[in-house]
Amino acid sequence: MTVRTLEVRLAERSYPVVIGPNLLQQPEHLVPYLSQRRVAIVSNETVFPLFGAKLKEGLGRAGVQPVDILLPDGEEHKTLNSLERVYDALLRHGFDRKSVVLALGGGVIGDLAGFAAATFQRGIPFIQLPTTLLSQVDSSVGGKTAVNHPLGKNMIGAFHQPRIVLADTSTLTTLPDRELRAGLAEVIKYGLIRDPGFFDWLEASLPHLLARDGSALTHAIFESCRNKAEVVEADEHEQGERALLNLGHTFGHAIEGALGFGTWLHGEAVGAGMVLAARLSHQLGLLGAGDLTRTERIIGAAGLPVEMPDITAEEMLGFMEHDKKNQDGAIRLILLRGIGKAYVDASVSRAVLIDFLKKRR
């Protein structure tokens, strides 16, 4: 399969997103972005045994001998304690401002390692090496880095763009089915918020994606990254259009927080959250019944939840009130006026939300 590349154009912070098979074993993609040969591979105890040796072998051929920093696997470890472990290792090994962090893993590792790079010695370079579908299509692109707080997801973080994103599609062959389905939630999101043609393609191609067809996956990753790059280029720090990328996330983050981080995968919670956003949009008279049905159908067909778990409306609202997108005390939701027509709405009252959430249980 061919390698596909696109550019995230952010002036002096621009960087390529390279998509294709076996990229971790091709150091020529990485070496030009290393300001020195001192690099740290931040990964977890699940991903590193699968891909760490391949990455280190390629880097070794280029004269790079990295330090491994391994963390426990799971959203529940996306914490300040894990962040401190990364700082400790970087300090012990004498890393400086020209050292580079390589984030090898899914969204948790990418977010955490990126935040460590953003804050170590006031910021050092990092490179995204995403190994899950969710991280390849979403979290590795755009420069959002963070860790969780008990009161909310991604509450402590910074914008810090990577030097390059290397999405090795070969890593998806080892991805558990549940993780693959979770990644599809973020793929579907791009069709719902801004790309109805892509949504049409996803409806027709979903069986091929679930079967891990290489060409279909590469196309889905490329189109997702293209959509995200265009949004990030227009609104890097989420002052406007970039907020639309959070479709389903206000509900989804509340589900994750109320259940306990790691109980549902992020993509599972986002899938259910997008259905909730579509149903609320329909209840408010914004979204037609046909588009609601299409939304529910594709998320269900992807094997994602389409109903809330056993959480009270009050619990959900409590987490939604701590969502980082809120402004001036108002809950900001991403709602739909149609497939590909998302917008930000801060006018839905708490009373309406409580009533809506109670009906969902």
Among 223, 238, 241, 256, which one carries the catalytic annotation?
238
Among 186, 241, 256, 268, which one carries the catalytic annotation?
186
Q: How far apart are CA 255 and CA 268, in angstroms?
A: 10
Under 8 Å between Cβ of 124 and 38: no
98 is catalytic: no
- Buried/exposed code over 77-107 (b: 16+ C-beta within 10 A; e: otherwise): bbbeebbebbeebbeeeebeeebbbbbbbbb
Among 246, 268, 294, 332, which one carries the catalytic annotation?
246
Q: What residues contact residue 117 under an 8 Å CB cut-off, 6+ apart?
A: 101, 123, 124, 125, 126, 145, 160
266 is catalytic: yes
Among 77, 85, 163, 266, which one carries the catalytic annotation?
266
Q: What residues contact residue 91 under an 8 Å CB cut-off, 6+ apart?
A: none
Among 228, 282, 294, 324, which one carries the catalytic annotation?
228
Among 38, 77, 242, 324, which one carries the catalytic annotation?
242
76 is catalytic: no
Q: How far apart are CA 170 and CA 164, in angstroms?
A: 18
236 is catalytic: no
242 is catalytic: yes
Among 219, 249, 294, 332, which one carries the catalytic annotation?
249
249 is catalytic: yes
Under 8 Å between Cβ of 207 and 301: no
153 is catalytic: no
Q: Which two tokens stand for residue 13?
A: 């912070």
Among 29, 181, 219, 253, which one carries the catalytic annotation?
253
Q: Which residues are catalytic?
A: 122, 144, 186, 228, 238, 242, 246, 249, 253, 266
